[in-house]
Every structure is written in C-alpha cells, then in structure tokens.
Amino acid sequence: MTTTIRRATLTELDTLVPLFDAYRRFYGQPGDLARARDFLQQRLKHGESTILLARLDDAPAGFAQLYPMFSSVRTARLWILNDLYVDEAARRRGVARALLETAERFARESDAAGLVLETARDNLAARALYTAAGWHEQATQWYGLAFDSDADSESLFVYGTLQDAQVQRRLFGRTLAGSPDALPGYRLDWLEVRDPAAVAASGIVRHPIIHATGADSDRVPGQCLRLSAAELAHADAYEGDDYRRVQVTLASGARAWVYAAPSLASA
C-alpha cells in the first residue's frame, strides 16, 4: 500500500472533517461535524494552521495539524505539532511515522528552529513512536491554565475496572484525574456473567459490583473522578445494562455518580 501526504487546502475540507471529528471523539468530545467543519475552515481560511492530509492508496487515512509559534530566546520560528490522528482502519501501516517525517520536512523548509509537542507521560505507544522518529523528551514541563467552564463536569466514584488507566485511555482517550474516597453502607460483590463488549474493552472477565447494606461497618474503597458529560455517556455505554448509574454520598461528603446493581435506587 502507498502512503501519500500533502498539505491540505480548503478544497479538501470535506475529506478532513470526518477525520477531525473522529479525532475529537477519541478525546472524549461529542461528535459534531458542523463544529469540526467551522473550526477547520477558519484555521485554513486565515492561514492559522498547517494541516497535512495522509492518504493510503488514495483513501483518507489521517492528518497532522501544526500551529506556528516563536521562541524569543532562540529568536526563531517553531511549530507546535498539536494534532496527530490516524484512522483506525489505517493504523499499524506506517501512516503516523510518515506524518511525523512530513511535518519535520515542512518545518525545516520553513526555516523553523524545531518542532514541539506534548503528550501524556503514560501514553507509552505515542512516546515510543516519537522517540523512534528522533524526537527527544525534554526536562521542562508545560503548564496549563484552562478557561473552560467546569459547569458540565461530573463526579464519578469508581471501584473497579474504571480505575485502570488503560481502560480509561480506551474509553476516553486520556487518563482521568482522581482522588481516593470511599462509599459507606455498601458491600462489594462480583458479577460473574458480564456483557461481552465490556469484557472486550477492559480485558477482564470478572467485574465487581456493589450492593447497598446500610451497615456503617460496610465500606467500598475507590476513587472519585472528574469527567465531562460526554465522557460520562461513554462510561454509561461501557457499563451497559449490567449496572445502574445512581447518585450517592461518599465518605468525604461529596456527591457523585456510581455504577451499582440495577435494583438500587438513588441514595
């Protein structure tokens, strides 16, 4: 199979939009083709980003989006490789590596001093890809200050597979921040027969489930996670009909959602 990569223009917007929407959904955002189109159209129309479109045997396979920035210390241009996505059907065929190499050539040809990107420390697959392509992990750490409203975020108490970082990355595309907590008045049991889709997502056959006892001596340890409404919907689909999502009061006094036996009512 042949991989070709070219700099995208507005004429290829229809090709880019589904890929960009899939990229956003991978990171837990709700699908929104109109929003994806508007965002990409503005970036391309005003020359605010450079998008490299990859095709595998002429079929759209992935993209990389680079944003320009400058280094005052080095008095030079830099490029942020902000987005890199390969369609699921085109993965493990060298498309991501080809996009990285094309991004490097583009940056060199623009007389830039280099490329930078950011990825999570626990994203081992991505880190392996970048280092294999010649990228170096820096000792410095980026910091962020987000201005997004927290109104749409949700609290979810988890005590089973949703505590696992690998499961979180499969479902949400990222590792969620959590704080230790406990759920009093409940006991932990085991769900012996599980939805096959959830088994496939977690890689675990035997899953825990909680039941209310009302006894002060019963307590289920776990973590309280913060996640978006869209991510909570992903968790609902993952738990399926085996569990019911209800609100509870944790040992810390915080209110949170939890997945429990279907017979439980809100507490």
What the chain holds in terms of domains, given with CATH numbers, is 3-132 (3.40.630.30), 153-260 (3.10.490.10)
pLDDT for 137 equals 83
- Pair of tokens at residue 7: 């700099």
The pLDDT value given to residue 238? 84
Consecutive 10-residue runs of the chain (267 residues): their mean pLDDT?
Answer: 94 97 83 94 96 96 96 93 95 95 96 88 81 84 60 84 88 86 92 59 69 90 90 86 89 91 59
**Alpha-carbon distance 106 to 10, whole Å?**
19
How would you classify the pairing of strands 114-116 and 76-86?
Answer: parallel
In this prediction the pTM is: 0.59
pLDDT at 203: 56
DSSP three-state, residue 163: helix
The type of residue at 3 is T
List CB contacts of 128: < 8 A, sequence separation 6 or more: none
